[in-house]
Chains A and B, each alone.
Chain A
Amino acid sequence: MSATPRPPDASRWTWLPAWARPLEHERRGLGSLRLAESTILILLGVFLAVATVNDLVVLRVNENHRLRADLHTWRTVTGHDYVNISTEQDIKGYTTRDVVCGNVSPGAPGSRNQICLIVTGPVRGGERAVEGGYYLPAYRSNLKTERFWCFGSATTDELCGSASAPPGSQRIALKGERR
């Protein structure tokens, strides 16, 4: 063990018990303290790792549950049993609001006009509530300038721009829709 250097004014602290006196450099030989600290740090690290992995799995499972409900909701509401449906989750904002889009008629993904439903809230009976939606032209991105025929919350949130529906576009009948 090396000798512990003392600050020049060490005499000022002689009224303190030896363990509490200031040192210029930390005393070597505090092995037990370092060992205790390291043990606590390792335990804490393991605990945080378990919490993180648990959260990751739980979070993912919950999202999967939600996504399945979104797809089921879209199929039920539109009456189309299509496989290729896209879902955009609000993961950044941590809300339960998802936008689910799919073709209005059979065809390759995105090759027809799309109907997008805004679904929200908890999963009940394998489905979630539809609060609104809009249509998109074929082969177009989901941008405000492209959307048309907003309904429900999409209208109040002004999600549609001034785009008009492409010629020949048809609305599809939605289950539970008030006309």
Chain B
Amino acid sequence: MSARGRAGRWTLLAGALAVVLLAATAEIVLDGAIGHSPLIPKSPQIAGWLSGVGERLGFRVFLIALLAYTAAFAGMLALAQRISVRFAIALTAVLQLIVFVGPVLLSTDVFSYIAYARMGVEHGINPYLHGPDAIVGDPVYRYVGTDWTKVATAYGPLYTLLSYPLAPLGVVGALWGMKLEALLASAGTLALTWRCARMRGLDQRFALIAVGVNPLWVIYGLGGAHNDLIMTLLIMAAVALTLSSERGDAREAFAGGAVIGATLIKATGIVLLPFILLSRRRLAPLLGAVAVAVAVALIAYAVFGVHGVDIISALNRDSAFVSIDGFPTEIAHLFGKPGVFPVDHDLLKAALVLIVLHLLWRTWRGYDWVAASSWTLLAIAVTSTWVLAWYLLWSLPLAAVSRDRRLLVAVFAVQGLFIVHQLAPLLEPVS
């Protein structure tokens, strides 16, 4: 077959895969728009205009669509270097927009974000001291997940401050605001991933597809309007600034500031800082980090008091949670235990410390600091007893621009196992 014929065949295949990706996403969004589904959180009707087409979203349809999407994603990755730049960007953008216009998928977290914002702005209640049950009469309360009604916010003060301007918009207005924030954060992360891939001489189309078409990114991350996407945006800003900076350049300081910004959204963002410092061996990133930390800490202290800057206690509280999807829980079941015991938490923390020390040593020896940061974020997610799909996104953009391809394979493998674990309802039904 001629080269032209082969190119035509690849284009046809890529087109078919794109149709599967778009159809699976549309199926989930259109069926989800009807509501009354265990996969769609109780929510104001924001996507009612889409609800005339689909049927109520059940586990079986969702999981088949997710599997089809994942298979098409794998195929698209394999073809990434054969598709045009325009095709890659258009596909990614359309997928993101389909999810943006649809209902909130798979998680009530966004309503917790809104509740914390409304607590502070509308009710004058400190969200670092009280859970949403302090505003039982507020219209958002009925949408907050039952597990979280008594829990004070664990998010960083920068995120809480960012969410405050949305509070006066009402529940529906704030919900669209949160969805828009997530969309913009996703788009920003993808643009920076593209830029970093180019700076490192990697294929930009592959990096874009790996992140922007990733099923966990699109369906779970963006679908739930998770603030993890804002954290990844700042993480990738730090990477882009560091990669583009010369020694002594102000961009090194801005990179340190961006890392702290990510940390003040979600505490895990801090992971990057030691690896940047070890790699660059300059004071500038540290000075930038300290400057931003002091500035935000002062504002947070003024707005939230000392509890707004006490990230450690929130981390300690959350590290005690156990989810059924966590790898530690699965390992416990494998050994015949009913779940994770306190001693297991200590063992997991010890394992994580060893992994981080090894990566710090490797980075000191010259290993790619971007990859080391990504491995650490992946290790945190895998050793955490509280694992949610969007935690598996933290390491993804970094892995897409790292020089160690084992890393991206590991990230995809962990994500794949997470998806496999979701398939329980697809197995043989009872009679």
Query: Do A and B make up one complex?
Result: yes
Which A58-100 residues have C-beta < 8 A from chain B?
A: 58-60, 63-64, 67-68, 71, 88, 91-94
B424 contacts across to A, CB distance below 8 A: 56, 59-60, 63, 91
Which of A22, A37, A41, A54 is the one whose CB lies under 8 Å from B330?
Answer: A54
Q: Is the CB of B36 within 8 A of A45?
A: no
Please encode chain B, from 279 to 297, with 1 for each CB lying within 8 Å of some chain A CB and 0 for all others.
0010000000000000000
Q: A48-B327, A52-B417, A56-B424 are in contact. Are A22 and B430 (CB under 8 A)?
A: no
Majority DSSP secondary structure for residues of B touching A: helix
Which of B36, B333, B406 is the one whose CB lies under 8 Å from A38?
Answer: B406
Which of B382, B423, B430 is the one whose CB lies under 8 Å from A67?
Answer: B430
A55 contacts across to B, CB distance below 8 A: 329-330, 333-334, 421
B270 shortest CB reach to chain A, Å? 22
The reply to whether the CB of B410 lies closer than 8 angstroms to some CB of chain A is yes
Q: A45-B410, A64-B428 are in contact. Are A51 and B367 (CB under 8 A)?
A: no
Q: Is the CB of B366 within 8 A of A26?
A: yes
Docked CA distance A52–B329 (Å) = 10
Q: Is the CB of B146 within 8 A of A71?
A: no
A91 shortest CB reach to chain B, Å? 7
B367 contacts across to A, CB distance below 8 A: 26
**B-side interface size class:** 20 to 34
Docked CA distance A24–B382 (Å) = 30
Please encode chain B, from 100 to 112, with 1 for each CB lying within 8 Å of some chain A CB and 0 for all others.
0000000000000
Q: Is the CB of A93 within 8 A of B146?
A: yes
Q: A26-B365, A51-B334, A93-B147 are in contact. Are A56 and B36 (CB under 8 A)?
A: no
The reply to whether the CB of B248 lies closer than 8 angstroms to some CB of chain A is no
Q: Is the CB of A53 within 8 A of B430?
A: no
Q: Is the CB of B36 within 8 A of A143?
A: yes
**Cβ-closest chain A residue relative to B423:** A56
Docked CA distance A68–B429 (Å) = 10
Q: Is the CB of B417 within 8 A of A48?
A: yes
B410 contacts across to A, CB distance below 8 A: 41, 45
Q: A22-B281, A60-B427 are in contact. Are A48 and B414 (CB under 8 A)?
A: yes
The reply to whether the CB of B87 lies closer than 8 angstroms to some CB of chain A is no
Q: A41-B406, A93-B146 are in contact. Are A27 and B420 (CB under 8 A)?
A: no
B417 contacts across to A, CB distance below 8 A: 48-49, 52
**Cβ-closest chain B residue relative to A9:** B281
B279 shortest CB reach to chain A, Å? 9
B234 shortest CB reach to chain A, Å? 27
Which of B281, B334, B364, B368 is the one whose CB lies under 8 Å from A50?
Answer: B334
Q: Is the CB of B368 within 8 A of A64?
A: no
Q: A71-B430, A141-B36 are in contact. Are A26 and B364 (CB under 8 A)?
A: no
Docked CA distance A57–B427 (Å) = 9
Which A83-135 residues have C-beta < 8 A from chain B?
A: 88, 91-94
A143 contacts across to B, CB distance below 8 A: 36
Docked CA distance A170–B211 (Å) = 57
The reply to whether the CB of B362 lies closer than 8 angstroms to some CB of chain A is yes
The reply to whether the CB of B357 lies closer than 8 angstroms to some CB of chain A is no
A67 contacts across to B, CB distance below 8 A: 430
Q: A25-B366, A51-B327 are in contact. Are A92 and B430 (CB under 8 A)?
A: no
The reply to whether the CB of A20 lies closer than 8 angstroms to some CB of chain B is yes
Q: Is the CB of B334 within 8 A of A54?
A: yes
The reply to whether the CB of B38 lies closer than 8 angstroms to some CB of chain A is yes
The reply to whether the CB of B353 lies closer than 8 angstroms to some CB of chain A is no
Q: A93-B146, A94-B324 are in contact. Are A56 and B38 (CB under 8 A)?
A: no
A54 contacts across to B, CB distance below 8 A: 330, 333-334
Q: A27-B365, A45-B413, A51-B331 are in contact. List 18 more A-B contacts (CB 8 A).
A: A20-B364, A22-B278, A22-B281, A22-B366, A23-B366, A47-B331, A48-B330, A48-B382, A51-B330, A52-B330, A52-B420, A55-B329, A55-B334, A56-B424, A68-B430, A88-B38, A91-B59, A94-B324
| Interface set of B (CB-CB < 8 Å, partner A) | 36, 38, 59, 146-147, 278, 281, 324, 327, 329-331, 333-334, 362, 364-368, 382, 406, 410, 413-414, 417, 420-421, 423-425, 427-428, 430
In the complex, the 10 A-B pairs of residues with the closest C-beta atoms, listed nearest first = A23-B366, A26-B366, A51-B330, A55-B330, A60-B427, A67-B430, A51-B334, A52-B417, A26-B367, A51-B331
Q: Could you jot down 19 A-B contacts, CB within 8 Å? A: A19-B365, A20-B364, A24-B366, A26-B366, A37-B406, A41-B406, A47-B331, A48-B331, A51-B331, A51-B334, A53-B420, A55-B334, A56-B423, A58-B333, A60-B428, A63-B424, A91-B424, A92-B38, A93-B147
